[in-house]
Structure 1
Amino acid sequence: MGTHADIVKPLPELLGQHARLFGDKVCFEDRLTQVTYRELERRTARLAGHLAGLGVERGDRVAVLLGNRVETVESLLAVTRASAVGVPLDPGVSEQELTRLLDDSGARVLVTDVACLTRRRTLASRPGLTVVAAEGGDEDAGGKSPSCAVVAESADGAGGTGGGPAAVVGGVSRYEELAATEPRTPARDDLALDDVAWLLYTSGSSGEPKGVLSTQRNRLAPIATGLVGILGLSEQDRVLRPLPLHHAMSQVVCLLGVTAVGASAMLLPRFSVAEVLGELRRADASFTLLGGVPTTYSALLDAVRGEESGRDGGGLGAPALRGCVSAGAAAGPGFRESFEAICRVPYLEHYGSTEAGPVTMPAPDEATASGACGRVLPDVRVRVGGGPDGRDTGEGELWVNGPGIMAGYHNRPEATAQ
């Protein structure tokens, strides 16, 4: 893996290729389960076929309301294989905001978990919405919430032996039966590189969240030039990801970046200093990249600094770790120097946005100025400010053009034009 053409191709092709090359290699794992590349290809194909059986047409939106777990990855890849549009949502969102996002997206199907359905009892009866529920979901209860029985008990004897949509109980389909049984129709697998594949909502820091539409090319092109071309992401990498998968940075760096190159990732349910350090310092740990935001790394820095005398300056204590990838906000003056001196790992800050994807990327072995966030990606053009003649003025808004730029805002032609 390494050239642009290797990576910028439809996801079903990449999945098929990796199933052949890395069949038994674990690609994603969480606290409870793991999936190999061969299983990922098969399970996403089955899910995609069953989504069509549940009435998902080409271009329909499918919302995914799940935490950091293998099923989140499978669901979002399966939606692409159904030639539909994946809408990852924050499981912690309020009831009112969830209703607004489901209304705005027009989602036909919602993939969630039993714990969420138990908390949000109106979801299963929402008009025009088909629900698919995975087991468990309450990570604080060890991954399987006591409420799993709500769907599972009522499903006893409901069947699910293949040849069509698996057991549907009160309008709720059981996720694992869809992933494990053959559908009547195969996955469509014909979503073009420039067709809309995802709808991600912005944080809403400047007004209410807007739905950002992106294509496979929008996301895979900067992965090829930035994550692979500059950061050196390859099938040799093992990523530790404690950040939410519904966020654009996680989509690019973890979900699609790992999938595109044949790497592997461990998904933590949430960030905690103890858990991250525990994973990095396990005797059999082989993590090469850690994903985070400045607050993640600030907390790690404080923890390592506090124990430094006891650890003899051992830093994060993860010998295979070659970089800590950060984005989402600027870390501030001098942070990188402090982090690298005490944690003993390169701090790799890059810049991007939900609308533009990654715009810059630092190289692990390259000296950068204090406060810098890497080089502008190949094929990307940036302009700072912009006077009446369109020239770079050196300050003001950052204007970006390149293959990672979104297809537009969902149902907001005026905002798109602006």
Structure 2
Amino acid sequence: MERLLEAVMARSGHPGRVGGLQRLSGGANMESWAFACGDGRFVLRRAPSAEWIAARPLGMAGEAELIRQAHAAGVRTPEVVAELTQADDLGIGFIMCCLPGTADPEVALSSPAELASDLATAMAGIHAMPPGDLPFLPTLDPAQGVEGLARQFAEAGGDRPVIALGLAWLRDNLPPPAPRVVVHGDFRIGNLMVHDGRLAGVLDWELAHLGDGHEDLAYGCMAVWRFGRLDKPGFGLTDIASLARAYEAAGGERFDPARFRFWLVYRTVWWALGCLSMGQSWRSGTDRSLERVVVARRCAEQELDLLLLLENEAPEAERMRLMPAAPEPIRESDGEPTSAEILTAVSEWLAATVKGKLAGRERWELAVAQNALGIVRRELAGRANPADEALAKDILAGHQSLKTEGLLADLRCRTLSTLSADMPKYPALAHARAIWSQA
């Protein structure tokens, strides 16, 4: 792979020996490889397969061109130095200069308040880019987008009542037309390079499109992308009002709370379905990586967040209703080891004998494997079934809603059980358990 990269770099005017090639651990979709060439550091960004990228509205060539135009417009982005061709025998993708700093969420979330202003400025800059210069970008209309999510929900089984609740809300709360701007589509902590507490660059433009700029504002404020900073709803860095003021001061349009809330719910439903699609991708053979099946179980995180977002619209009596009793977990015996205990033994063996021999991407994949073993172990101990096709259909048809007696309490109980098995360390879980147990 190093020799192939050297040929591409020489063609792009950056000749030299390639060394230090390492696959980066981040990225749920694309592959990223860091390497040195000559006196510089670079990153290869490529699609996992031709089949995968063919299903995307924005191809790799379009993404590279968008980054070039954003860079030229003054948005802090990496510089694209080369695009791969079929003759390069390296797949589909492009090469960028490596930015200083890190995308580690812990570093970003421990940065000074100026970082929030940097993010607001970057979003305003992206939204100010002329849409006419980017005719290849897809367009997202809210109503069409919601119906697209509904089709995706049906394809995924159409049997998750909490997602159905979110879809029904979206249909009832479509926003009025908004100015159409360039939307990054994945603007969040984890996709932003931070250096010395300031924004060094915006990464991962694969979901870019034309639409409502409030979508970018809302997406980064989702609980999942705040990595436990539940007290700071503005990207985990500040409050929403301060983020909105910084965005307006940087030239962004006037902040609209109703549009912001719509997109917050929309992207939460979107990511819940995105998680489920990871499992479908694994089943189809498009991507058989272990990461896909583990991420699919993160759907329960978004179901919890949807309930937290929407429950205030339920009548007070339903918000205060006690949850039904959770099922008793399966008890371990003093006899032969249970399946759960065997899985624990395997996980402990991996940690004791394998972990120390791995580094980089392989060490991260081991953590994913141990997480997978934990999910199965906890499911064996007792996990409420999150699927209920009949109830989901009732909700979508308007026959049941948050006004239905006992529905909210039942969904709370199911979601806590599911998430406790799938992702027990999700920060919002403890918060929800605490407030719902007091209802």
TM-score calculated relative to the size of structure 1: 0.26
Larger Rg: 2
Structure 1 or 2: more helix by fraction: 2
TM-score calculated relative to the size of structure 2: 0.25
